[in-house]
Amino acid sequence: MPELPEVETIKEELLPHIVGRTISGVTLFWERMLRQPLPAEFHPRISGQKITGLSRRGKYLIFQLGGGNCLIAHLRMSGSLLFGRGLPPEYTRAIIHLDNGNNIFFRDPRKFGTLQLVKDSDSVLCKLGPEPLSPSFTPEILYDSLKKRKAPIKAVLLDQGFIAGIGNMYADEALFAAGIHPLRPANSLSRTEVKSLHRVIREVLQEAISSKGASVSTYFRPGGETGTAHSQFQVAHRGGKPCPVCDTPIQRIPIRQRGSYFCPKCQPEA
């Protein structure tokens, strides 16, 4: 599932190719991906609009349009935005056509991705928590917020209303780096543990961005290349393999219906 590093990579690599270009039209092969407005209203509202900016909030991509609208894309479980010309790649669900003949292909094998054309992006993004790489996201803020939560720390980190952009892979990696068991109640973490967790969350995300994201399964960069962050994973998707620190087999357990990977020795539950 594309998480913050993957979406940030897509944003950075798409941005120089699309800002200043005009959308000549959109082809929807899977109309149910369009959350709002209705298709009959969507096409006339977006055609002819100039792309003035591209930003990221959590796992969302926001295309700022000259007419005052925003096109918000969420890649969900298996989406990618590919850039180029010619025939659409397999599993393309939508094509954003640009005035210079280039296209943005929304590829999504599992059909969970969404598009929304709105006047105010806050109407969609207002419930998101803080950005983990923002200077305003401090260890003190994280500690105070965790003290209010009794749920397992892994589940809390996945809550996009608590913190935006962290998904399954990077939550596993951050908890391993901090030596925290994923089932620990969030409010049981000490100030020292929270300070360590805050630091490694930022480090794990920044390292993954430097590696252009993790191509575990369906994620591709706009040019079709893969990211390499997955080659640095310590526990994520490594069930049964030896821990890189102590050689104990990595375990996988379900937490809130999500598979969680951890080292039982390096991340003791007690």
Q: Per residue in 115-127, pLDDT tens? A: 999 999 999 999 9
Last residue within a domain, chosen from 81, 96, 125: 125
Tokens representing 270 are 């007690």
Out of 37, 45, 258, 264, the active site residue is 258
Torsion of Cα atoms, 210 then 233 then 201 then 144, to 10°: 160
Report the b/e string of 45-57 with b at 16+ CB within 10 A. Answer: ebeebebeebebb
Look at residue 132 and tell me if it is in a domain: no
User: 81-126: per-residue pLDDT in tens?
Assistant: 999 999 999 999 999 999 999 999 999 999 999 999 999 999 999 9
Look at residue 63 and tell me if it is in a domain: yes
The answer to whether residues 96 and 30 belong to one domain is yes
Confidence band for 1, pLDDT divided at 50, 70 and 90: confident
Last residue within a domain, chosen from 125, 158, 191: 125
Handedness of CA 92, 215, 21, 71 (dihedral sign): positive
Confidence band for 152, pLDDT divided at 50, 70 and 90: very high
Out of 56, 57, 59, 184, the active site residue is 59
Active site residue 185: no
Active site residue 258: yes
Out of 2, 132, 182, 222, the active site residue is 2
Active site residue 3: yes
User: 178-207: per-residue pLDDT in tens?
Assistant: 999 999 999 999 999 999 999 999 999 999
The answer to whether residues 147 and 106 belong to one domain is no
Active site residue 131: no
The answer to whether residues 185 and 257 belong to one domain is yes
The answer to whether residues 10 and 85 belong to one domain is yes
Out of 3, 6, 8, 173, the active site residue is 3
pTM for this predicted structure: 0.96
Residue from 249, 76, 237 nearest 171 by CA: 237
The answer to whether residues 33 and 93 belong to one domain is yes
- The domain of 103 spans 4-125
Confidence band for 216, pLDDT divided at 50, 70 and 90: confident
pLDDT-above-70 percentage for the chain: 100
Cα 5 → chain centroid: 6
The answer to whether residues 24 and 96 belong to one domain is yes
Residue from 267, 8, 1 nearest 131 by CA: 8
Total domains in the chain come to 2
The answer to whether residues 121 and 148 belong to one domain is no
Look at residue 192 and tell me if it is in a domain: yes
Last residue within a domain, chosen from 70, 102, 125: 125
Look at residue 237 and tell me if it is in a domain: yes
Mean pLDDT, residues 159-182: 98
Look at residue 238 and tell me if it is in a domain: yes
Mean pLDDT, residues 38-45: 96
pLDDT-above-90 percentage for the chain: 97
